[in-house]
Amino acid sequence: MDIAGSAALVTGAASGLGAATAAALAARGAAVYGLDLDKAVAAAGPLPEGVRLLPADVTDEEQVRAALAAIDADGAELRIAVNCAGIAPSARVLGRKGPHDLDLFRTVLDVNLVGTFNVMRLAAEAIARHEPDGNG
């Protein structure tokens, strides 16, 4: 698949798997827009050519919509969305201080599950606005 010239959205792109994915897509010619939290974007090191970071919390509909609007404002046609944002706090179901914090578990579900779905649905909406490319 030729992705050169396509715009790609990668969540969690300021570090780790997200940063590696963003770099790999950019190396293949995609214009990559990476989403991550404000503090992660501010702390990110030098970016590969073709990668731009946008601050957004994947669980926040308006922040994701604003990032997608920034992609549109650049005149880029979003064709690819990759979800790499996620958290995995280390905690036991039962530890010395008692049972696992239920609010922490809810936060994990919110970021890893709801955030992923939020980005998928909004990116799909943005992608659907564009005419199919030469490959349909």
**What letter does residue 55 receive in the DSSP assignment?**
E
Print the domain residue range for 63.
7-128
pLDDT profile of the chain (136 residues), mean per 10: 93 98 98 98 96 98 98 95 96 94 96 98 96 78
Q: Is the dihedral of CA 132, 70, 119, 43 positive or negative?
A: positive
CB 112 within 8 A of CB 89: no
- Domain assignment present for residue 34? The answer is yes
Q: What predicted TM-score, i.e. pTM, was given to this entire model?
A: 0.94
Residue 131, pLDDT score: 87
- Domain assignment present for residue 134? The answer is no
Do β-strands 7-11 and 31-36 pair in parallel, antiparallel, or remain unpaired? parallel
Residue 54, pLDDT score: 98
Residue 134, pLDDT score: 76
Residue 1, pLDDT score: 79
CATH code of the domain covering residue 32: 3.40.50.720
Q: How many domains does the chain contain in total?
A: 1
- Domain assignment present for residue 89? The answer is yes
